[in-house]
Amino acid sequence: MVPAAGRGERLGPGAPKALRELGGVPILVHAVRVLARSRAVETVVVVAPKDGVAEVRALLADAIGERESAVLVVVPGGDTRQESVRAGLAALPPGVDVVLVHDAARPLVPVDVVDAVARAVADGAEAVVPAVPLADTVKQVTPAPTAGLPEPVVATPDRSTLRAVQTPQGFRRDVLDRVHAKAVQEGIDATDDAGLVERFGGRVVVVPGHEEAFKVTRPLDLVLAEAVLARRRSRVEY
């Protein structure tokens, strides 16, 4: 499943983030192509902006079409990421036991990461997240009431025990269904699906992610993504 219904406010004015282009191809198309290329993936459910379902359907039919074997379903998303994931879950065909949730905003994830996450779920984990070690030391602070003021440091967690998590995150379908239903009941709104599993007592494991699976969030991320794509293209053509 690919949540792609966000507006991309931190990217600045323009089209919804999933439809912004990278190397001349919409970000969403990159993300869907990677999933469709994984042999672990049979169906791709794309959760599109509410007013963009027809556009996304046409775009993907054109861009993916005959080239990939995975079945494609497009449904309208919600106002929060959690609502969008729920809409995607509701659209999953029966008989699907494993769900990968992959942000459209991570267009350059290598297919090996997709395969590794799917394999870890197939091997028995109920929730799997790909993650990478942190480059920066992290400080926990007491946030200042106004941005820009000095903030007191509370603690410095040991960096070797920290990981920055990416997507696709993989789940047993029944587990993901259950935690999303509980989140609604309890009025919880979370942007991290694995976090919901933890909160409700499930076990989450981390597998190695990849530096190219970074999320396109701010304008600088687009610059980096274009550079990664250019590097890949030059290597393939060489």
Give me the residues that bind Mg ion (CB under 5 A), please. Answer: 6
User: Cβ(60)–Cβ(48) under 8 Å?
Assistant: no
Helix (H, G, I), strand (E, B), or coil: what is residue 171?
strand
Rounded distance between C-alpha atoms, residue 26 and residue 19, angstroms: 5
Classified as helix, coil or strand, 237 is helix
Which of the listed partners (ligand CTP, Mg ion, none) does 218 bind, with a CB threshold of 5 to 8 Å by partner kind? Answer: none
215 touches ligand CTP (CB under 6 A): yes
Among 17, 33, 86, 180, binds ligand CTP (CB under 6 A): 17
DSSP 159-170: GGG-EEE-S-EE
Of 1, 8, 60, 213, the one binding ligand CTP by CB under 6 A: 8
| Using rule CB under 6 A, residue 183 touches ligand CTP | no
C-beta closer to ligand CTP: residue 28 or 40: 28
Chain centre distance of CA 192: 9
The span of 80-88, 107-115, 158-166, 197-205 binding ligand CTP (CB under 6 A) equals 80-88
Identify the residue among 47, 99, 101, 128 touching ligand CTP (CB under 6 A): 47
The structure tokens listed for 147 are 């941005």
Within residues 81-110, the interface with ligand CTP by CB under 6 A covers 81, 84, 103-105
Nearer Cβ to ligand CTP (26/77) = 77
- Contact yes or no for 17/104 (Cβ under 8 A): yes
**127-130-132 Cα angle (round to 5):** 140
First to last CA, the chain: 34
Q: How far is the CB of 19 from ligand CTP (least distance, A)?
A: 10
Rule CB under 6 A: which residues touch ligand CTP? 3-10, 17-18, 47, 77-81, 84, 103-105, 215, 217
